[in-house]
Amino acid sequence: MSASGYTVAEANGIWVFVEQDGGVLEGVSLELLGRGRELANQAGTILTAIILGDGVLAAAETARAVGADFVLVAEHPALATYTTDAYARVVADLVLERKPDIFLLGATPNGRDLAGRLAVRLRTGLTADCTWLDLEADTGLLLGRTTGFGGGVYATITCPKHRPQMATVRPGIFRPPAPVDQPWGLIGTIPVHLARRDQRVVVEEHIRHEQPGLTTAERLVVGGGGTRGDFAPLRELAELIGAEVGATRVAVDQGWVERERQIGQTGVVTHPKLAFVLGASGAMQFTVGIDAADCVVAINADRDAPIFEHADYCIVDEIGSVLPPLIEHIRAGRGVHVK
């Protein structure tokens, strides 16, 4: 790889690209600000949040309240909605001007798109879809842990010679920090100069989809291939206990559940207090998404299913034999009966 735009000796500080939609910060951006604050404290350096958009000062206040020392705001009508060219131009210019040591982005559709473009423009490395971040004790290098070979191995990747050290991080990996009552960070605005060549795409319609709250749910009901596509009783159980419905990749690939509800390596990582996992074999690429659960109840007809190694309570039985009486028991306990 050719030399990056600035040297290791020139680099300083940790940056987080903060995604927002209508002034509301994406959950993964809050999570990265929290982890970024911890890493900045560990390294004795500054945490900077960068926000692009139009009318996003309220989002900047939120970033300041959760630990950013500096919040750099770039406002322009052309930045109101994410487009690759405009965002890549503004962020790349800013990085080359201010020279951060570490640059973190969420592994969202927009974050992944922007990170790839920036890595090429800045001539640096990118560790994609990280499931953990840390700093190497002796060198201070960013350690990005990611999975490979279908989730069968973990790899820890460093970028010793190029700057910035870039990583995208999966949503749900870190817990979002609580805002402080008296933020100490400073907010600064950045002049934006965009030419027509920087706006090859015009967004004519922006459709906002309501995303399932899997990463913040306290209770989950998760179905796998063993459901054979019958998610109706899972949804009924979820409604009774105030849970979100999730799924393994097998269930999503079969079209039984929408992709936004996929949990695991290629879905989301969760931190529930309680997770019912029904009919999931328990492959590593799935269990990485529930390993942080406080309590896992697994139901599977195969007594040798790997999911039982990750469960606190194991039920070896068919889903159809367990769920109906469980649902009826919960209803009866609440004085609700179905005719």
Return the pLDDT at 339: 42
Return the pLDDT at 149: 54
Cα–Cα distance measured from residue 260 to residue 267, given in angstroms and rounded to the nearest whole number: 8
The kind and range of the H/E element at 57 are helix 57-65
pTM for this entry = 0.77
Return the pLDDT at 196: 56
pLDDT in tens, the chain (339 residues): 678 889 999 999 999 999 988 888 888 999 999 999 999 999 999 999 999 999 888 889 899 998 899 999 999 988 988 999 999 999 999 999 999 999 999 998 899 999 999 999 999 999 998 988 999 999 999 999 887 655 556 789 999 999 999 999 988 888 888 888 777 888 998 888 876 555 666 655 655 555 668 888 899 999 999 999 999 999 999 999 999 999 999 999 999 999 889 998 778 888 899 999 999 998 888 888 888 899 999 999 999 999 999 999 999 999 999 999 999 999 887 655 544
Q: What is the pLDDT of residues 154-211, one digit of tens each?
A: 789 999 999 999 999 988 888 888 888 777 888 998 888 876 555 666 655 655 555 6
Strands (DSSP E) contained in the chain are 14-18, 20-21, 24-25, 47-53, 70-75, 102-106, 126-130, 132-135, 142-148, 153-157, 165-169, 186-190, 219-223, 244-247, 274-278, 295-300, 313-316
Q: Evaluate the CA torsion angle 178, 68, 28, 140 in order and state its sign.
A: negative
- Cβ contact 144:133 at 8 Å: yes
- Cβ contact 67:47 at 8 Å: yes
Both structure tokens of 298: 């697994």
Cα–Cα distance measured from residue 168 to residue 102, given in angstroms and rounded to the nearest whole number: 11
The dihedrals phi and psi of 15, each to the nearest 5 degrees, come to -115, 145
Q: What percent helix, strand, coil does the chain show, rounded to 5?
A: 30, 25, 45
Domains along the sequence of the chain with CATH: 14-198 (3.40.50.620), 219-333 (3.40.50.1220)
Return the pLDDT at 35: 95
Name, in order, each residue with C-beta under 8 angstroms of 12's C-beta and a sequence gap of 6 or more. Answer: 45, 46, 99, 100, 101
Q: Is 243 helix (H, G, I), strand (E, B) or coil?
A: coil
Q: Is 302 helix (H, G, I), strand (E, B) or coil?
A: coil
R_g of the chain computed on alpha carbons: 22
Cα–Cα distance measured from residue 75 to residue 78, given in angstroms and rounded to the nearest whole number: 8
Return the pLDDT at 206: 57
Cα–Cα distance measured from residue 320 to residue 317, given in angstroms and rounded to the nearest whole number: 8
Cα–Cα distance measured from residue 304 to residue 105, given in angstroms and rounded to the nearest whole number: 39
Q: Where are the alpha helices (DSSP H) in 131-194?
A: none
Cα–Cα distance measured from residue 133 to residue 249, given in angstroms and rounded to the nearest whole number: 25
Average pLDDT, the chain: 88
Q: Are strands 153-157 and 142-148 parallel, antiparallel or unpaired?
A: antiparallel
- Enumerate the β-bridge partners of residue 146: 155
- Enumerate the β-bridge partners of residue 74: 52, 190
